[in-house]
Amino acid sequence: MMKWGIGGGSSGTPADSYYEVRSDCTDDVPKSKFKIKAGKTLSVRKWQAAFSADGCLDIASVLSRIQKGGVHPTVRGEVWEFLLGCFDPRSTFDEREEIRQIRRLQYARWKEDCREMDSHVGSGKVITAPLITEDGRPIKDPLVLLEATSQNTSDSTSTSSKNAIEVDDSATRITDKHIIDWKLTLHQIGLDVLRTDRTMVFYENKENLSKLWDILAVYAWIDKDVGYCQGMSDLCSPMIVLLNDEADAFWCFEKLMRRLRGNFKCTDQSVGVANQLQYLASIIQVLDPKLHDHLETLGGGDYLFAFRMFMVLFRREVSFGDSLYLWEMMWALEYDPDIFFAACEEASSHKSKISKSKLRGVRHFTKRDKDKDNTKNGAEDTEGPVPISVFMVASVLKEKREKLLQEARGLDDLIRILNDVNGNLDAKKACAGALKLHKKYLKKVQAKKPQTVLFNLTG
């Protein structure tokens, strides 16, 4: 179990001190609870020292440091590129630069493709009203095109809403369904962009707003199965803040979406986070059957009240800086190098020195979790381990257990009690609580299994 370093030493620097809030919004944003502490947080010096002369990264030491105290904001963007799998830790400086340039060119090509379909991509404007009808006819009203300036955003929005939509009959009707679907999402992306992290000084710069809109527009085009859904802007925003280059921010977001895109694939029959909700139900049923039965009695046995926490990874429950700490902590705990080893089986013995056995010591959430009994509440086996985010939500329920049991008499009470968490969740304690619940859950589940299965877990 990792040490959290609570108490002793310097009180540390608040995580949000690096992410300036607008003066008129200071009373409206959650306060940071996580502190950046010397000797515990991954510092610039420790990060640079983790590289060999040619650029290979000692990822095991980095993960260990992150698990103790997160990442210093000044190197967070660089570190996230490794945590999200943008780069192989065994690659050299030169190899990574070559990959980076290839990816930047690829993003530029995709963005140009999008610009050819709609000239507002890359124009510095954010679209907040429909550009096209559902049957492919372009809309003529120029007032729907809003330049993303902090001064005219609200005024322009109210002005455009008063004007009736006028179809441009002289323009060529679009017949490609993919293009129509994509163009129909552009104004929704714009509306969400203007609402995302709006309390931050960073987004008073219209260029940053347009970066966010452009990245989401390009992603919606290349991922046609998912497109764009509400919540993606909350996941993408930190990438824009941390990485100066738009293409680099896009690729970090794309890597994150590879993990989370299933959350956004909803149908009339199920929500994208169904597996995680089922896992959560199973975990609570095993660890706290009394609470689980009470939630079922209230009509919350489907655990849909946790939907938002999974969709945007606790962005509403903690401050901006604390959410970044929470994310990197989860990624460090779940970090899986297998994708790199599988792709590089022919790697030289020199690069193979970053062994799996060394990494196992700092990986708390491995594929061994996949084999545990997650079918108790009807959940089917999935393609990977139970995410730590499930145990995070379980720790929130544990913290509110007594209040839920004593005060909740219906779904409205349940939602009200859990809404009290918004802006008040302690990210560090939530991580610690999640790890304790994970350990306790594994013990309970494994105790019920035949001994032969337990041996297979480590094989």
Domain that holds residue 190: 103-146+165-252
The domain that contains 139 carries what CATH number? 1.10.8.270
Q: What local confidence, expressed as pLDDT, does residue 183 receive?
A: 95
Question: Rounded to whole angstroms, how far apart are CA atoms 266 and 213?
Answer: 23
Question: Rounded to whole angstroms, how far apart are CA atoms 106 and 120?
Answer: 19
From residue 66, alpha-carbon distances to 75, 197, 228 in Å are: 12, 25, 31
The type of residue at 329 is: M
| Helix or strand (DSSP H, E) at 126 | strand 125-127
- Per DSSP (E only), the strands in 18-99 are 35-36
**Encoding tokens for residue 392?**
């995070």
Residue listed under structure tokens 């809030």? 21
The answer to whether residue 316 sits within a structural domain is no
Question: 37-51, 77-91, 143-157, 219-233: which range is least confident on average?
Answer: 143-157
SS (H, E, C) 248-312: HHHHHHHHHHHHHHHHHCCCCCCCCCHHHHHHHHHHHHHHCHHHHHHHHHCCCCCCHHHHHHHHH
Residues 205 and 225 both lie in one domain = yes
Please write the tens of the pLDDT for every residue from 208-228.
Answer: 999 999 999 999 999 999 999
From residue 263, alpha-carbon distances to 174, 226, 230, 308, 396 in Å are: 30, 10, 11, 10, 20
Residues 38 and 78 both lie in one domain = yes
Question: Rounded to whole angstroms, how far apart are CA atoms 90 and 140?
Answer: 53
Please write the tens of the pLDDT for every residue from 88-127.
Answer: 999 999 999 999 999 999 999 999 999 999 999 999 999 8
- Reply yes or no on whether the pLDDT at 16 is more than 90: no
Residues 134 and 200 both lie in one domain = yes
**Encoding tokens for residue 170?**
């002289």
Question: Rounded to whole angstroms, how far apart are CA atoms 167 and 135?
Answer: 11
Q: Which of 198, 232, 252 is the last residue of a domain?
A: 252
Q: What local confidence, expressed as pLDDT, does residue 344 receive?
A: 39
Mean pLDDT of the chain: 82
| Helix or strand (DSSP H, E) at 13 | strand 13-14
- Reply yes or no on whether the pLDDT at 2 is more than 50: no
The answer to whether residue 55 sits within a structural domain is yes
The answer to whether residue 117 sits within a structural domain is yes
Question: 80-89, 125-134, 269-278: which range is least confident on average?
Answer: 269-278
Please write the tens of the pLDDT for every residue from 435-456.
Answer: 999 999 989 888 876 644 433 3
Question: Rounded to whole angstroms, how far apart are CA atoms 92 and 189?
Answer: 37
Average pLDDT over residues 51-68: 95
Residues 141 and 227 both lie in one domain = yes
3-class SS of residue 245: coil
Question: Rounded to whole angstroms, how far apart are CA atoms 181 and 117?
Answer: 12
Q: Which of 194, 226, 252 is the last residue of a domain?
A: 252
Please write the tens of the pLDDT for every residue from 345-360.
Answer: 433 444 444 444 445 4
Residues 199 and 72 both lie in one domain = no
Whole-structure pTM value: 0.84
- Reply yes or no on whether the pLDDT at 179 is more than 60: yes
- Reply yes or no on whether the pLDDT at 52 is more than 90: yes
The answer to whether residue 7 sits within a structural domain is no
Residues 26 and 77 both lie in one domain = yes
The type of residue at 129 is: A
Please write the tens of the pLDDT for every residue from 394-434.
Answer: 999 999 999 999 999 999 999 999 988 888 888 888 899 99
Q: What local confidence, expressed as pLDDT, does residue 209 receive?
A: 96
Please write the tens of the pLDDT for every residue from 223-262.
Answer: 999 999 999 999 999 999 999 999 999 999 999 999 898 8
The answer to whether residue 283 sits within a structural domain is no
The answer to whether residue 26 sits within a structural domain is yes
Q: What local confidence, expressed as pLDDT, does residue 370 receive?
A: 41
Q: What local confidence, expressed as pLDDT, does residue 270 receive?
A: 63
Q: What local confidence, expressed as pLDDT, does residue 141 receive?
A: 64
Question: 33-37, 87-91, 125-129, 361-365: which range is least confident on average?
Answer: 361-365
The answer to whether residue 137 sits within a structural domain is yes
Q: Which of 235, 252, 269 is the last residue of a domain?
A: 252
Residues 109 and 225 both lie in one domain = yes
- Reply yes or no on whether the pLDDT at 171 is more than 90: no
Residues 34 and 69 both lie in one domain = yes
Work out the pLDDT band at 170, boundaries 50, 70, 90: low
Residues 139 and 171 both lie in one domain = yes
**Encoding tokens for residue 19?**
């992410």
Q: What local confidence, expressed as pLDDT, does residue 165 receive?
A: 67
Residues 172 and 107 both lie in one domain = yes
- Reply yes or no on whether the pLDDT at 190 is more than 80: yes
Number of domains in the chain: 2
Residues 248 and 110 both lie in one domain = yes
Residues 80 and 193 both lie in one domain = no
Average pLDDT over residues 190-209: 95
The answer to whether residue 51 sits within a structural domain is yes
Question: Rounded to whole angstroms, how far apart are CA atoms 117 and 139?
Answer: 14
Cβ neighbors of 188 (< 8 A, separation 6 or more) are: 228, 230
